[in-house]
């Protein structure tokens, strides 16, 4: 797993959001961005994390941030997740792992004694020039916005 670090430039990516729109990193040129990766839409931890970010979205916007959530779920699953919890930010349906691989968040994980490959729950803060300014690898799902603010 070759994860992006503080000071790295994020490689450009293009993928689809939960509404079927094409989204590219270049769409955010000149803007600050938070990209949060989560293992699976509508699971308890991912729901807590995304709802916490939703509830604090205005504070993040006031600091100049746009927000993107990313998992390998299908567009339909992301749309259902976004609609059910009324998320004001885009969720990316990264089924081909282009964004996941660009950030280097796919790799070996352990859960209940089993090892498998999956998405690591991580969040990246990115500046106006697509440079990583912060990496949060120990995400607190119920209090994630406080880690970012």
User: Which sequence positions are flagged as catalytic?
Assistant: 46
**Could you give the angle at the alpha carbon of 59 between the alpha carbons of 55 and 63, nearest 5°?**
145
Q: Is the dihedral of CA 44, 50, 53, 58 positive or negative?
A: negative
**What is the Cα–Cα distance from 45 to 35, expressed in whole angstroms?**
17
Alpha helices for the chain (secondary structure H):
44-55, 57-62, 75-85, 98-103, 144-148
Side-by-side strand order, sheet with 14-17? 22-24, 14-17, 90-93, 65-71, 32-37, 122-126, 132-136
């Amino acid at each position: 797993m070759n994860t992006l670090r503080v000071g790295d430039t994020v490689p450009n990516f293009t993928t689809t959001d939960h509404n079927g729109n094409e989204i590219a990193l270049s769409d955010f040129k000149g803007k600050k961005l938070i990209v949060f990766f989560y293992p699976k839409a509508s699971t308890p931890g991912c729901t807590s994390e995304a709802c916490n970010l939703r509830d604090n979205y205005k504070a993040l916007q006031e600091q100049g941030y746009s927000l993107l959530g990313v998992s390998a779920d299908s567009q339909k699953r992301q749309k259902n997740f976004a609609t059910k919890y009324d998320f004001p930010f885009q969720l990316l349906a990264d089924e081909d792992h282009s964004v996941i691989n660009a950030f280097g968040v796919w790799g070996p994980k352990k859960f209940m004694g089993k090892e498998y490959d999956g998405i690591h729950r991580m969040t990246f803060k990115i500046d106006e020039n697509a440079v990583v300014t912060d990496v949060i690898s120990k995400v607190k799902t119920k209090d994630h916005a406080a880690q970012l603010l």
